[in-house]
A and B are shown apart, each in its own frame.
Chain A
Amino acid sequence: MLEPLQDTFMQRAVAEMTLLGLAAGALGCWVVLYEFSYAAESLAHAVFPGLVLAALAGVPLLLGAAPAILLAALAIALASRAPGVGRETAVAVVVTTLFGLGVLLALSPQSPPGLQSLLFGDILGPTDTDLAAAAALVVVVAVALRLLHGQLLATGFDRGSAAALGLAAGRVEAALLVLLATATVVAVQGLGNLLVVAAFVGPAATARNLSDRVGPMIAIAAATAVLAGIAGLYLSYYAGTAGGASVALAILTAYLLSLPARGLRARRAPVRARAATTIL
C-alpha cells in the first residue's frame, strides 16, 4: 500500500493532487450550486492556446494560461453583447475558436512533439513551481470562500432577492468566476485541459448526493477529491495508465457509488415533508 510512496515522484504527485483536490473540491461545490459547470469546462478549454504558446516559448505554463483566460473572459463578454447572441452561444463560439487555435498550434509540423500532453496534463511530474502555486491556491480559495460564504449562500439560493438583502449578485458571481479561473489556471497543468473539469464538478456532485447542507458538502467534496485523486494516482502507478485520466476515472467511480444515497434521500424527503405538515 505504501510502496508507491517510496518513489519521490509519487510523493510529489500525491502532494500536488492533495493540494489541488482540496481547492477544486471546495470551490467545485459553489460551481455546481451556481450551475457554472459549463463555464468551468469552457475556461479550461479556453486556456489551451496559452498553454501551447508558453510551451513553445519555453516559459512556465502559468505565464501562458493566465493571459489566455483573461482574453477568453473578455471575448465572451464582448460576444455576449452581439445582438441575438446569448451567453451560452457566445461561450461556445469563443471557446471552440480558442481550443481549435490551440490544437492548430500544437499539431503544426513546426511544433516540437509532446505538446499534446498538455491536453491530458502531467500530474505525475509537478515542478516546484507547480507545488508552490497549488499551495498558494489552497490558501486563496480557503480564505475567499470563508469570507464570501454568507453572500455565496444567499445569492445562490435566491438571486432575485439578493439586492433587497444588500448583496450585489453580479459581484458575487464575478468573484466566484475569478476564483474558478484562478483555480483552473493552476490545476490545468497537472490534470490536463480535457480532464480538469472532472476535479471541480465530480467531487462536488458526489458530495451533493451525500449531503443536504453546504458546510458538510464542502468537506465531503474536498475529501472525495483528495481520496479519489490519490486512488487515481495508485491506479496509474500499478496499471500504467495516464495520470489525469486515472484520476478522472476514480472521481467518476466515487460519483457512481454515491448515487444510491441520493435515491434514498429523495424517498425519505416526501415522508419528512408530510410529517412536518402534520405537526403544524
Chain B
Amino acid sequence: MPDRALIEADGLALGYGGPAVVEGVGFTLRAGERLALLGPNGGGKTTVLRAVLGELRPLAGELRVGARCGVVPQTERSRLDYPVSALDVATMGSLSRLPWWRRPGRRERREGLEALGRVGLEALAGETFGELSGGQRQRVLVARALVQDAGVLLMDEPFAGLDRTAAERLEALIAALASEGRGVVIATHDLGQAARWDSVLCINRRQVAVGPPAVLSREVLEATYGGEIVALPGGERAIVSPHQHDHE
C-alpha cells in the first residue's frame, strides 16, 4: 500500500513541562513521502521530531505513529572522539530488536555490513566513525536506521556542512529510501531541496503551512522565517534567519 499513512498529527501542541513551544501542528506523512520540515532555529523543528520519536507527550492534539522511527542526528553533536568503527555504529541499529542482555553478534554485524553497502560505504566499514567526512558520517547513521528497519527516518539538518557532491549523494540516497516506501522527514534550511521533495511543513512556534512545495509563497516564507529573504542567483529565493548566520 504505497500511500499508507505512517505519521498522522492533528492539532498538536508540544512543550517541555511549561507552555507550548509549538502548537497547531497537523500533517500526514505517507509511505514513500519526503517531507521537508522548515523553520528557524528555535522554531520547534526538533521538538516536533522528538514528539514523533515518543520522547515528548503532546500537551494537546493527536499524534499517531504507525512505523518504527529511525533517527539521523547531526553528526557534529555525536562523539567524534568515540572509539567505534562505521560498522559498530551501523550495527547499533539492531539493539532495538535484541533483548537488553544480548550484544550484537555475527548476524547483526552482517546486517550492519549490508546496510553500509546500501549507503555505499562497505569499503569503509572498518574506519573510525569520527575520521569519516561529514557526508559519510550521515550515511553511516542512515545505515544504522536501516539496520533498525525503520519505516520512517527523521533527519535533523543532514545537509549542514556538506559540500555539493556529498549533499547530492545524500539526496539521492533519501530518494532511494523513499522509493522503497519509507517515509522521510528532513529538517532543513535549504529551500531549493525542499522544493524538490513531496511536501513541506513550515513551523515557527506554530504551524504556518503544510502541503506540496507549491505552498511556499513569499508570505508563507516570511511568516516562517520572520522576514529576511535573499534572492539567490538564478532567481531562486532563500531565506536566512539571523540564527543561521550564527550557526554557520
Give A158 to B123 CA distance when docked, in angstroms.
23
Whether A219 sits at the interface, judged by CB under 8 Å, is no
Residue of A nearest to B98 (CB): A150
Give A166 to B102 CA distance when docked, in angstroms.
13
CB pair A213 B83 closer than 8 Å: yes
The residue from B83, B96, B133 contacting A214, defined by CB atoms under 8 A apart: B83
Whether B13 sits at the interface, judged by CB under 8 Å, is no
The residue from A149, A166, A217, A272 contacting B83, defined by CB atoms under 8 A apart: A217
Give A156 to B100 CA distance when docked, in angstroms.
16
Chain B residues within 8 Å of A212, by CB: 83, 128
- How many chain B residues touch A (Cβ–Cβ < 8 Å)? 40
Chain B residues within 8 Å of A161, by CB: 71, 73
Instruction: Report A122-146 residues with CB < 8 Å from chain B CB.
Output: 146
| A interface SS class | helix
The residue from A153, A164, A276 contacting B127, defined by CB atoms under 8 A apart: A276
CB pair B82 A156 closer than 8 Å: yes
Chain A residues within 8 Å of B136, by CB: 276-277, 280
CB pair A269 B131 closer than 8 Å: yes
Stretch from B25-33, B86-94, B192-200 that touches the partner: B86-94
A149-B103, A276-B124, A280-B136 known; A33-B85 Cβ under 8 A:
no
**Residue picked from B82, B92, B103, B104, most chain A C-beta under 10 Å:** B92
CB pair B84 A214 closer than 8 Å: yes
Give A280 to B124 CA distance when docked, in angstroms.
10
Give A214 to B92 CA distance when docked, in angstroms.
14
CB pair A157 B103 closer than 8 Å: no
Whether A84 sits at the interface, judged by CB under 8 Å, is no
Give A160 to B141 CA distance when docked, in angstroms.
13
CB pair A273 B132 closer than 8 Å: yes
Chain B residues within 8 Å of A93, by CB: none
Whether B58 sits at the interface, judged by CB under 8 Å, is no
Whether B77 sits at the interface, judged by CB under 8 Å, is yes
Give A160 to B53 CA distance when docked, in angstroms.
11
Query: What are 13 residue pairs bridging A and B, where the CB atoms are less than 8 Å apart in the complex?
Result: A151-B95, A153-B92, A157-B79, A157-B129, A158-B92, A164-B154, A165-B95, A212-B83, A213-B88, A217-B83, A272-B127, A276-B124, A280-B121
A151-B100, A154-B95 known; A164-B70 Cβ under 8 A:
yes
Chain B residues within 8 Å of A146, by CB: 103
The residue from B55, B131, B148 contacting A165, defined by CB atoms under 8 A apart: B148
Instruction: Report A207-264 residues with CB < 8 Å from chain B CB.
Output: 208, 211-214, 217
Residue of A nearest to B147 (CB): A165
Whether B54 sits at the interface, judged by CB under 8 Å, is yes
CB pair B71 A154 closer than 8 Å: no
The residue from B53, B95, B132 contacting A167, defined by CB atoms under 8 A apart: B95
Residue of A nearest to B94 (CB): A150
Chain A residues within 8 Å of B120, by CB: 280
Give A158 to B144 CA distance when docked, in angstroms.
12
Chain A residues within 8 Å of B104, by CB: 150
Bin the interface of chain A by size: 20 to 34
Chain A residues within 8 Å of B69, by CB: 164
Q: Give how many A-B residue pairs fall within 8 Å (CB-CB).
A: 91
CB pair B133 A277 closer than 8 Å: yes
A residues bordering B, Cβ < 8 Å? 33, 146-147, 149-151, 153-154, 156-158, 160-161, 163-167, 208, 211-214, 217, 269, 272-273, 276-277, 279-280
A150-B98, A280-B136 known; A164-B84 Cβ under 8 A:
no
CB pair B128 A154 closer than 8 Å: no
Give A20 to B79 CA distance when docked, in angstroms.
29
Q: Closest CB-CB distance, A77 to chain B, in whole Å?
A: 19
CB pair A163 B103 closer than 8 Å: no
Q: Closest CB-CB distance, B221 to chain A, in whole Å?
A: 29
Q: Closest CB-CB distance, A252 to chain B, in whole Å?
A: 22
Chain B residues within 8 Å of A276, by CB: 124, 127, 131-133, 136
Chain B residues within 8 Å of A149, by CB: 103
Q: Closest CB-CB distance, B186 to chain A, in whole Å?
A: 16
Whether B78 sits at the interface, judged by CB under 8 Å, is yes
Residue of A nearest to B139 (CB): A280
Interface string of B106-135 (1 = CB under 8 A from A): 000000000000001101100111011100
Give A163 to B54 CA distance when docked, in angstroms.
8
Give A163 to B89 CA distance when docked, in angstroms.
15
Q: Closest CB-CB distance, A205 to chain B, in whole Å?
A: 12
Q: Closest CB-CB distance, A209 to chain B, in whole Å?
A: 11
Give A150 to B136 CA distance when docked, in angstroms.
23
3 cross-chain pairs, A with B, having the tightest CB-CB distances, nearest first: A166-B96, A150-B103, A164-B71
Interface string of B162-184 (1 = CB under 8 A from A): 00000000000000000000000
A208-B83, A212-B83 known; A158-B54 Cβ under 8 A:
no
Q: Closest CB-CB distance, B132 to chain A, in whole Å?
A: 6
Give A151 to B92 CA distance when docked, in angstroms.
9
